[in-house]
Amino acid sequence: MLSIIQSYTNLAECKNAFTNVIEFVKPKKPFSVLSHSFGSAVSAYTLSNLNYKINKLVFLTSPNSILEIFIDFKKLIGLPSTAFSYLLEKADLLANEKIKDFSIDEKLKNFTFSKLLLIHDEYDKIIPFKNSEEIKSLHEADSVLIKHKKIGHYKMLWNQNVIDETLLFLKK
């Protein structure tokens, strides 16, 4: 028997998976969401399309403009402009909206949450710190940004200070 293992995913597939989990649980009260990196984009995208009240959000690094991610990818692989346009068309179809208009700070306006904690390494080599700054600037009243130095994009997940800050935020 031949089995194919999928070694990739996309924002739309992850949104569908997260939606299925939430719809299966059917939370009756506001709940909190903790996510990292791409998961922060998935969380904001998913929750903006559902009708649930969210207590607290924790984004351990977050992209903001999805178009910027595509542009960085274009530069990384040297994708010609014609191919890049085709890629964006396909991405628009998958996301069911224009990637150029897709940003996390805008998605956050489409659902109710009490507070957002953004934790980001100012030297993050995967997702620049400015992304969390942009999100914070548009959600000044309901967000907190904690800046770390040289804890790494992935290593932050095991950093005791990040863990303690997250738990304190969620317990308050």
CATH code at position 119 = 3.40.50.1820
Starting from the edge strand earliest in sequence, which strands make up the sheet with 31-36, in order? Answer: 31-36, 54-60, 113-121, 143-148
Residue 9 lies in a domain: no
Closest CA to 34 of 149, 116, 112: 116
Residue 154 lies in a domain: yes
Distance between CA 144 and CA 157 in Å, rounded? 18
Q: Give per-residue pLDDT as tens, 4-42.
A: 555 677 888 999 999 999 999 999 999 999 999 999 999
Q: What is the DSSP letter of 103?
A: B
Dihedral sign from CA coordinates of 21, 109, 49, 92: negative
Range of the domain at 153: 31-65+103-171
Number of domains in the chain: 1
Reported as type and span, the H/E element at residue 58 is strand 54-60
Residue 90 lies in a domain: no
Residue 95 lies in a domain: no
Residue 3 lies in a domain: no
Mean model confidence pLDDT for the chain:
92
Q: Give per-residue pLDDT as tens, 53-91.
A: 999 999 999 999 988 888 888 998 999 999 999 999 998
Residue 19 lies in a domain: no
